[in-house]
Amino acid sequence: MKNLLIICLMLLLSGCVDKEILDDINIEVGVGYDLAEDSKDKYRGTVLFQEFQPDKSVINRTFSGSGKLRQDLLIDVTRQSSEPVVTGGLKVAVFGPKISRQGIYDLIDSFQRDPSIGARVFVVTSEDKAEEVMKGEYGTRGNSTYIYNLIQHNIDNRDIPKTNLHIVSRDYYETGKDTFLPRIKKIADDKVEIIGVSLFDKDKEVEILPLKDLFFFKLLVDKYSKGNFDVKLEKGNFAAVKSIKSKHKIKITDNHASININIEGIIREYTGRKLTSEVVNDVEKKLEKKVERECLKLLKQFQELGIDPVGLGQIKKTQHRKFDYKKWEDEYKTLEFDVKCNVNVEETGIIE
């Protein structure tokens, strides 16, 4: 009798919740936001769906809508889409140039509030309108997978510091640290590329770091596991230092920040005649000088802009009890830096 009752309940109650069958819904995999042209709306958003075809190819389908809130946008899009829209598969969010200047936090907040959106979403800014970026045809696995993988392997192997939705909002809320986002550009209808990093003051973009600074930027804010850098030597020779591992240590006393950067790498390419130990020493010295100079330049630049993507304030907080953030803001304006770099070339490849 009891068993029967429970079986009945199982059968009856299984109908209590709406079901969502993968083939019958549109999963939002990417979204782009721009400022609306119409002044009564705030955003113009473009939602990207992937349609998987029987022959395993992917069709990118975009819908645009506008509104004051992210939900308005979803309502607009739902009106155009043949299937209900769900947000659980979001991977990439792109912000257009104007909107990132105006502030993006309400949108990031809405991503955070939505329980179905993961923390590994990549938030990026774009050089041209986000709608344009969404509307390309990149790769064979769909636009959002393309952009996602593009950023992921540049974080793993190249000069983009670790980032995702969680890290962005963590830095946003952290006292004494500012956010940065990777910046992409659509260069052809089937290509996008990374062109730098957008630096934010709170939630407003204030500066764009070009590609040439990214190596030093990553040395300051993150650690490398597989970096790459070319060193120019005398007589027009070059040496490529690969497999760079880096670590930084920052110590802040009253009005002075000393930054220690430790780099380990191996030389993979050399255009000169013979790679003697003097040359290796020279490479180390040159790289050290270069890192020290460029990092100092970046830190000065951040100071002038009044932003702190390195998180010096946060580091000071962890090193000093009773940290006063108000006081720090003034201190930061006159803070002095010194950057010490130590390069260690461990190997020079399999020939001498």
Which of the residues 112 through 151 are near other proteins (CB under 8 A)? 112, 115-120
Binding mask of the shown chain, residues 162 to 181, with x at each position contacting other proteins by CB under 8 A: x-x-xx-xxxxxxx-x----
Q: Which of 143, 138, 160 is nearest to 151 (CA)?
A: 160
* Gyration radius of the chain over CA positions: 25
Q: Rank residues 85 and 279 by Cβ distance to other proteins and give the closer one.
A: 85
Q: Which stretch binds other proteins (CB under 8 A): 3-11, 44-52, 258-266, 278-286?
A: 3-11
281 vs 319, beta carbon nearer other proteins: 319
Residue 75 CA to residue 81 CA, distance in Å, equals 10
DSSP structure class, residue 22: G
Write out the E strands in 109-225.
Answer: 122-126, 180-188, 191-201, 204-210
Nearest approach in angstroms of CB 22 to other proteins is 11
Identity of the residue, 87 or 237, whose beta carbon is nearer to other proteins in the bound complex: 87
Q: Which stretch binds other proteins (CB under 8 A): 13-21, 58-66, 187-195, 221-229?
A: 13-21
Nearest to 233 by CA among 268, 279, 291: 279
Given 1, 5, 21, 350, the residue binding other proteins (CB under 8 A): 5
256 binds other proteins (CB under 8 A): no
Q: 32 to 91, contacts with other proteins by CB under 8 A? A: 88-89
The reply to whether 254 sits near other proteins by the rule CB under 8 A is no
Distance, CA of 167 to CA of 182 (rounded, Å)? 13
Interaction of residue 22 with other proteins, rule CB under 8 A:
no
> What tokens were used for 137?
């045809």
d(CA 332, CA 323) in angstroms, rounded, equals 13
Closest distance of CB 2 from other proteins, Å: 6
Of the candidates 221, 240, 227, the one whose C-alpha atom is nearest the C-alpha of residue 299 is 221
Q: Is 247 strand, coil or helix?
A: strand
State the minimum distance, in angstroms, from the CB of residue 117 to other proteins.
8
**Three-state SS for 313?**
helix
At its nearest, how many Å lie between other proteins and the CB of residue 109? 9
Identify whether the C-beta of residue 73 lies closer than 8 Å to the C-beta of residue 65.
yes
Instruction: Please give the residue ranges that form the binding site for other proteins (CB under 8 A).
Output: 2, 5-6, 9, 13, 16-18, 88-89, 112, 115-120, 162, 164, 166-167, 169-175, 177, 315, 318-322
